[in-house]
Chains A and B, each alone.
Chain A
Amino acid sequence: MMTLAEKILSMHVKKGNVKPDEIIIAEVNVAMVQDGTGPLTIMELEKIGMDRVVNPEKTVLFIDHSAPSSRKELSNAHMMMRAFANKTGAVLSEAGEGVCHQRLIEDYVLPGDVVVGADSHTCTSGALSAFATGMGSTDVGLAFALGKTWFKVPQTYKIVLKGTLPEGVYAKDIILYLIGKIGADGATYKALEFSGDIENLKMSDRFTISNMAVEAGAKVGLFPSDLITKEYLFSRGKGDKWIELYPDKDAQYEKTIEIDLNKLEPHVSFPHTVDNTRVIKDAEGVELNQVYIGTCTNGRLEDLRIAAKILKGKKIKKGLRLIVVPASREVYLNALREGLIEIFVKSGGLVLAPGCGPCVGVHEGVLGDGEKCLSTQNRNFKGRMGNPKGEIYLSSPATAAASAIVGKITDPRNFL
């Protein structure tokens, strides 16, 4: 009678069969840091003479938050990461390879894994039925060196998705709606488990939803490992690694929340919290200076296709900046082959190297005082894009693309 979270964690402890609220030590399969958190990991490990990794092939240091580096201090941090990878045999993911969470789901994570990352959006891999969660630099460093970490087994909220999404409404709208409904702390310490009519959601949709579980405070956002997961792994040459994972029929949930997809509308988060959501008709008309399409939330090929379909043959509003960042090198190459990059450039947009791009406020597209940006990213906190006097709005790639054409927040259904 176990939920997905309990089931996966039970596969990684000595005695098995964990219970909610129990404190456990679990084996870790994949551990990662990025350039904002990794240097501290390295410094802490060196301090105690544990600068080693037990599982080098699944220990990854990503250069993605400031990639390529925007200043000498960060270049030096990158050097520290490269030297650590050289010394320990861990994998170094260079500038241009992509955002850590996208790279993890492309090449490293398998269903049933326990994944820890020094980045809050590590929960993205939950879509592959991995217990994947964000932690601090030191926690992940200890997982590097010891191959394990402690967890409090979370209670689970079951999120039942019913029906199919109408045209112009996307996975991003589902998760924005959910966070607006339960609040930014609505699931703090909890596991979210998605179920219901999920056979209609592609892996890219699931990644978008799991990516934002942390924005409701959740520890993980899990999907079962089903035939869609299997197909995804096969397409990546890892079909033999697929295992089926479902919660038990009599699993115990702390809460169940139903969402009627048939009636869902496009949603936008207003500054400065993700749960400050509005339906599109109450969001339309906000004048924009910048639109950003990309990130670990919505920078996948499927997202770029949706945006390109709307932007094809059109020009963005004069005076507005459209920034597009493919989430990984593979996404970038596929977008090039499909002609999507050409569409963005011809429409007046600019395309940057795969990575986090402007989302983290370090480089590339920092907002000016009072400027407004509509972004497909996951977070709109004050100061997030490098300026506390800037305003960040969040939406799906379709809403972002339509809004870039009009220069104001716009219902994407007008462009379908």
Chain B
Amino acid sequence: MVIEGRVWKFGDSISTDHIAPGRYFHLRQNLPELAKHVLEDADPEFSKKVKQGDIIVAGENFGLGSSREHAPRIIKLAGVSLIIAKSFARIFYRNAINVGLPVLELNTDEINEGDILKVDLEKGLIEDKSTGKVYNAPPLPAFMLKIIRDGGITEHIKKYSDFNLEIDN
């Protein structure tokens, strides 16, 4: 899987309250409406600016806070194809994989807002076409790539009627 897109840059500690604020709790059953407020408390204009295929690049502990799966869902629904961050909060990370939104961990200091990245997801290879720099992120484990290729965990289970992750314990 190769992903190419424009970078929107965020800082450290972007919480699920920044991504899907609690005051829009009533929109949780209406994801397209909720997506109009995606990341509103980090960048109020984000949902208007983001285009299909764009990439979010962020700092430490992206997605900390609540378990709300709506957070990665509306990021994906807004068109974002990939999130690269220095680190992720664990529930967000797991939810992102489950909804079929790829995530990679990398020191993102030298990637700038507006850069165009070309990413080979299987290899974790990231090419910044704007600066010419190339980075190697740890690739996702095989079973997570499988979930993403299947289109998320719901589609995975629909396909196999059970977990089919080649796990032996």
State the A residues within 8 Å of B (CB).
Answer: 13-15, 18, 22-25, 36-37, 39-40, 43-44, 47-48, 50, 65-66, 71, 73-74, 76-77, 80, 117-120, 122, 134-139, 142, 146, 148, 150, 184-185, 188-189, 214, 217, 219, 273, 360-362, 366, 379, 381-388
Whether B64 is near chain A, meaning CB under 8 Å from some CB there, is yes
Bound-complex Cα distance A270 to B113 (A)? 30
Residues of A within 8 A of B18 (CB): 381-383
A interface footprint on B58-73 (CB within 8 Å = 1, 0 otherwise): 0011001111111000
User: In whole angstroms, what is the CA distance A44 to B28 when docked?
Assistant: 13
A74 touches B68 (CB 8 A): no
A138 touching B27, Cβ below 8 Å: no
Point out which of B15, B65, B90, B91 has the most chain A C-beta atoms below 10 A from its C-beta: B90
Q: Is B23 an interface residue (CB 8 A)?
A: yes
B153 touches A77 (CB 8 A): no
Most buried by A among B29, B68, B167, B169: B169
Residues in chain B near residue A65, CB distance under 8 A: 25
Cβ of B36 within 8 Å of any chain A Cβ, yes or no, is no
Q: How far is the CA of A166 from the CA of B162 in the complex (A)?
A: 52
Q: Which residues of A contact B168 (CB under 8 A)?
A: 15
Contact partner of A23 among B15, B21, B141, CB < 8 A? Answer: B141
CB distance from B16 to the nearest CB of A (A): 8
Question: Cβ of A189 and Cβ of B153 under 8 Å apart?
Answer: no
What is the interface of chain B, defined by CB distance below 8 A to chain A? 13, 15, 17-18, 21-23, 25-30, 41, 60-61, 64-70, 87-91, 94-95, 98-99, 141, 143, 152-154, 157-158, 162-163, 165, 167-169
Interface residue SS majority, chain A: loop
Q: Are B28 and A36 in contact (CB under 8 A)?
A: yes
Contacts A73-B27, A119-B67, A387-B23 known; A134 to B91 CB distance under 8 Å? yes
User: Is A184 in contact with B13, judged by CB distance below 8 angstroms?
Assistant: yes
In Å, the complex CA distance between A207 and B30 comes to: 34
Can you report 9 residue pairs joining A to B where beta carbons are below 8 Å apart?
Answer: A23-B141, A25-B167, A73-B29, A77-B28, A120-B66, A138-B95, A138-B154, A150-B167, A381-B15
A37 to B95, CA, bound (A): 12
Asked whether A148 lies within 8 Å of B23 as measured between CB atoms, the reply is no
Shortest CB distance B41–A (Å): 5
B26, B68, B157, most chain A CB atoms within 10 A: B26
In Å, the complex CA distance between A122 and B23 comes to 22
**Alpha-carbon separation in the docked complex, A381 to B89 (Å):** 14
Complex: chain B residue closest to A118, CB-CB: B67
A217 touches B61 (CB 8 A): yes
CB-based contact B153/A39 at 8 Å: no
Q: How far is the CB of A134 from chain B (nearest CB, A)?
A: 4
Given A25-B167, A36-B68, A146-B162: A388 in contact with B25 (beta carbons within 8 A): no
Residue of A nearest to B154 (CB): A44
A138 to B158, CA, bound (A): 12
A40 to B98, CA, bound (A): 13
Nearest-neighbour CB distance to chain A for B116, whole angstroms, equals 29
CB of B98 within 8 A of CB of A136, answer yes
Report the nearest A residue to B31, measured CB to CB: A40
